[in-house]
Amino acid sequence: MVEYIYSVSLKDINLFEKFTEKAIDAVKSAQIYAIEFNHEKIYPEHLLLALLNDSNSIIVKTFSIYKIPIEDLKNTIKEILNKRAVVKPVEFVVFSDSSKDVFVRTLDIAKTLGNSYVKAEHLFLAIWDCPKLELTKVLKEEGVDVDAMKAMFYNVLSANKHKKPKHPEIIEKRRRNDGNDTIVSLIESADSAKIFDRAIAKLSTSNYEILGTEQIMQSILEDENSDITKILSEFGITAASFSEKLKEVSSRQAEFGDKQIIFTPNALTVLMRALDIVRESGNASILPEHIILGLLKSKKGIAYNILKEFNINEYLLEEKVLQPIEKQKNETLYIMRLAKQEARRIGNNVVGSELILLGIVLEANSIAAEVLRDLGVIVKDARDVIEELIGSGDDYASNEITFSQRAKLILEDAWNIAKSKNKTKTTADDLLLAICNQSDSLAMKALSRLGVDALEIRQGLKNKMSCFGI
C-alpha cells in the first residue's frame, strides 16, 4: 500500500508543505487509484475520485444539490480513467503535468481565500480549472451548469473566509508561565540536560554568549544513536551536513528580536513551542523530538533556515518525528486524539476544556474514567450536554485543530501536577484534577449539568488511588 507522497522532484516538494492532513490524504489516495488503474501518471481525475470518498464533505454535498448521484459520478470518472490504462504492470507513478498545474492553482486559490493552509476543498476547486478535465464535458452534456456549480462552491468557501472561532474559551487570556522557573526546569530535566550541556559548551567555541537554535540543533545531532538523529539523517540532516551549512551563516540576525536574554528570542520561542507539545503528548519532560517539532512549528531562526536548505518535505519529517513519541501510547496523548476527533465530529476547530473532559470519558480505561463512570457520567449524556454548551459547527470546519486558552492552562496544570508527584508522564487523573481546579471552565459547567461537582471527583480519585496503592 502507498504510504507517503513519492515520485516528487525536489523542486515540487514545497508544493505540499502547507497541505492539511485531509488534503495530503487525498493525494495519497489518488496515488493508490493510479496504481489500481494501472496508470503511469496521477491525473486530476484520480484526485477528484479521492475527494469523493468522504460522504459527509461539502464536496459531496455540492453534487447532491445538483442531484448528481455520487456513485454514478464515480463510475463516470472510472470509465474515463479506464481509457488510460497501460499494458504493462505499473509499480511506480509520477504526477502528470495537469496534476502539477492543479497543485500550483490550489496554492493560489488558498491564498485568494485568505487561508494559511491548503485544504481538500481548494484542491476540488483547482481541479475544475483544469482545461483538459474530460468530466467537465461529460457533465455539461448531461445538462449540469458546471460554471454555476464552481461559483456556488467558491462562494461557500468565501463565506467561511473570515469565520473566527466561536468557542467561549478562545477569548480567555492564558496565564503565562514563561519565566525563568519554567525554562530552568525544562533544561534541568533528565532527558534534556545533556542536550543543553553540549549546546552551552558550544558557545565558547563560537564566541557567543547567548544560546541559539543552531547550538541546540547541533547538540541534538551529536547523539548519533538517538531515534531523532536517525530520523533526521534520512533527510540528509547530520551533524556534519548541518555544521557545513552553519559555516555559511555570517550573521545571527535571524536569531534576535528586540531583546537579548539567556536564549535568543527565537530559541526561547522554539522551547516554549516544544513545551506545549510535551504537555499535549503527556510527557513530563522534554525530549529532542519535542524540540525538533517546536523548531518546525516556530519556523524561525538559523536552525530552521538551514533545515529549509535541505529541501525537506516538512509534513513528512514532522510525521516521522512524531512516531517515537506516539509509540509511548500514554493516556494523555490518546485523550488528546479523542478530543480532536470529537472537535471534528461536531464541526469545531477548537478543543476546549469540555472536549478534554469528553476525551477522558471516551478513553474509558483510566482511573479518571472509572471515577466519572461511578458518578454516572456516560458518553451519550456528556456529548449531549457539551453540544448544548458549545453548539455544533457546519461541515466546513477547519482541519487544523487548535486548543482554547483554558485547555492549554489545564494541560499546563496537569503537567505540573504530574511533576509534583515525580511521574514521568501525565495521566488522565492529572487532567481531571486540573479540570477541577478550573471552576469556571466549560468542562466544570458540563459536569455541573450532569450532577457532578469537583469535591466528588477529588474524593473519588483519592479513593480509587488508595485502592490501587498509588
For residues 343 and 371, membership in a common domain is answered with yes
pLDDT band at 11 (very low <50, low <70, confident <90, very high): very low
Residue 106, all three cell numbers: 490550489
State residue 30's pLDDT score: 86
Q: Is residue 304 in some structural domain?
A: yes
Q: Are residues 354 and 461 in the same domain?
A: yes
Mean per-residue pLDDT for 214-239? 89
Residue ranges making up the domain that contains 352: 331-467
- Share of residues in the chain with pLDDT > 90 (%): 19
Question: Residue 403, SS3?
Answer: strand
Q: Does a structural domain hold residue 354? A: yes
Could you read off the pLDDT of 370-415 as tens digits, one per residue?
Answer: 999 999 999 999 999 998 888 765 444 455 688 888 998 999 899 8
**What CATH number has the domain bearing residue 125?**
1.10.1780.10
User: Both 294 and 402 in a single domain?
Assistant: no
CA 116 to chain CA mean position, Å? 14
| Same domain, residue pair 20 and 155 | yes
Kindly state the average pLDDT of the residues 256-274.
Answer: 67
Do residue 295 and residue 433 come from a single domain?
no
Same domain, 321 and 340: no
pLDDT of residue 260: 37
**Structural domain count, the chain:** 3
In a domain? residue 58: yes
Q: Across residues 146-164, what is the average pLDDT? A: 69
Q: Are 300 and 364 found together in one domain?
A: no
Q: Between the CA of residue 252 and those of 30, 87, 401, what are the distances in Å?
A: 43, 57, 33
454 shares a domain with 359: yes
pLDDT of residue 4: 40
CA 16 to CA 222: how far, in whole Å?
A: 30
Closest residue by Cα to residue 325 from 280, 271, 368 = 280
Task: Say if residue 10's pLDDT is above 70.
Answer: no
Mean pLDDT across 448-467: 90
Residue ending a domain, among 326, 343, 366, is: 326
pLDDT band of 339, cuts 50, 70, 90:
very high
Mean pLDDT, residues 323-335? 79
User: What is residue 182's predicted lDDT score, i.e. its pLDDT?
Assistant: 55
Question: What pLDDT digit, counting tens, does each position of 89-111 carry?
Answer: 656 678 888 888 888 888 888 88
The pLDDT value given to residue 166? 64
Residue 229 domain-assigned?
A: yes
Q: Which of these three, 326, 353, 374, is where a domain ends? A: 326
pLDDT at 90: 58
The rounded mean pLDDT for the chain is 79
Residue 254 lies in a domain: yes
Please check whether residue 173 lies inside any domain of the structure: no
- 318 in the same domain as 335: no
Contacts 24+ apart (CB under 8 A), 100-107: 100/12, 100/15, 101/130, 102/44, 102/47, 102/126, 102/127, 102/129, 102/130, 103/12, 103/15, 103/16, 104/15, 105/129, 106/23, 107/15, 107/18
Task: Say if 95 falls within a structural domain.
Answer: yes
pLDDT per residue over 342-381, tens digit each?
A: 988 888 888 999 999 999 999 989 999 999 999 999 999 9
Percent with pLDDT over 70 in the chain: 79
167 within a domain of the structure (yes/no): no
Residues 18 and 146 reside in one and the same domain = yes
pLDDT in tens, 113-150: 877 678 888 888 888 888 778 888 888 877 778 788 77
Q: Do 197 and 321 share a structural domain?
A: yes
Which of residues 326, 345, 368 is at a domain's end?
Answer: 326
Residue 70 grid coordinates? 455520487
Residues 214 and 308 in one domain: yes
User: Using one digit for the tens of pLDDT, what is the confidence trace for 418-432?
Assistant: 888 888 889 999 999
pTM: 0.51
Instruction: Give the per-residue pLDDT at 259.
Output: 36
